[in-house]
Amino acid sequence: MHRGLVALSASAVAAIYMAGYLRTQSADASIGAAALPTAQSVQVAAAAPAAPPAARAITLPTPVVPFTQRPRPGAPPTAAPALQSQAAAAAQQAKGGFKDGTYTGQGSSRRGDVWVSIQVQSGRIANVSITRSTLQYPLRDIAGLPNQVVQRQSAQVDIVSRATYSSQAFRQAVSQALSKAA
């Protein structure tokens, strides 16, 4: 009889953790300054994207504005339709790269907004970082929703399991920034 997959997964996790792969990596640094200590309330901190192995130094993102202090986005840049700018960006890349510089973009979803900064060096994207985020913790959405229709128990939940939630606002912000670099 085969060994159960649960047992196999547990020994795999143990082996990986023991191997201490992380110790040889600089991944700590990529998160380092990103998670801001603040007193109360929900806060969203964002890590810099992981650099590919043996890549250039990781640029830390500007500290994220805590949820409690966030200014209302006054006149954010008009959000071009994501698909359109993404297509433009892809087309531009096919033509031979972006213009060097640093570009910003903003993305929105029903969970809030996110601002990114993209550095282009030698026509290629050198770094993408989140500079600001007002994305709400998913629980906030759930807490206020009518829950008597399908839910069997009335207690408020701590956490929700669902199929993968894509970071759509992040992608939109990136494609908007890239459309400026085209």
Partner 1 sequence: MPSALHVRTKHEFATISMDTWVNVQVVADSPRETIEPTVQRALAWFETVERICTRFDPTSEVMQLLGHVGCPVRVSTLLFEVAAFAHDLAKQTNGAFDPTIGATMEQLGFATNYRTGEIVNSHVGAESGDFHDVRLDRRARTILLRRPVVLDLNALAKGLAIDLAVQELQSYPDFCIEAGGDLYVRGHNMTGENWHVGIQHPRAEGLLARTLHLSEVAVCTSGDYERRAPGAGAEGHILDARTRQPVLDLASVTVVAPTAMAADGLSTAAMILGRERGLEFLEDQGVGGLLVTPDGAITSLGL
Closest among 84, 85, 140, 86 to 112, alpha carbons compared = 140
| Distance between CA atoms of residues 157 and 151, nearest Å | 11
C-beta closer to partner 1: residue 46 or 65: 46
Q: How far is the CB of 86 from partner 1 (least distance, A)?
A: 6
Q: Token pair 């196999």 is at which residue?
A: 8
Give the three-state DSSP class for 114: strand
Are 31 and 47 in contact by the 8 Å Cβ rule? The answer is yes
Q: Is the dihedral of CA 3, 7, 9, 15 positive or negative?
A: negative
C-beta closer to partner 1: residue 57 or 75: 57
Q: How far is the CB of 140 from partner 1 (least distance, A)?
A: 11
Exposed (0-12), middle (13-18) or buried (19+): which is 165, by Cβ within 10 Å?
A: exposed
C-beta closer to partner 1: residue 49 or 74: 49
β-bridge partners, 118: 103, 128
C-beta closer to partner 1: residue 69 or 166: 166
Q: How many CB atoms lie within 10 A of CB 136?
A: 15
Q: How far is the CB of 141 from partner 1 (least distance, A)?
A: 6
Q: How far is the CB of 74 from partner 1 (least distance, A)?
A: 24
Q: How far is the CB of 3 from partner 1 (least distance, A)?
A: 8
Rg (CA), the chain: 20
C-beta closer to partner 1: residue 37 or 71: 37
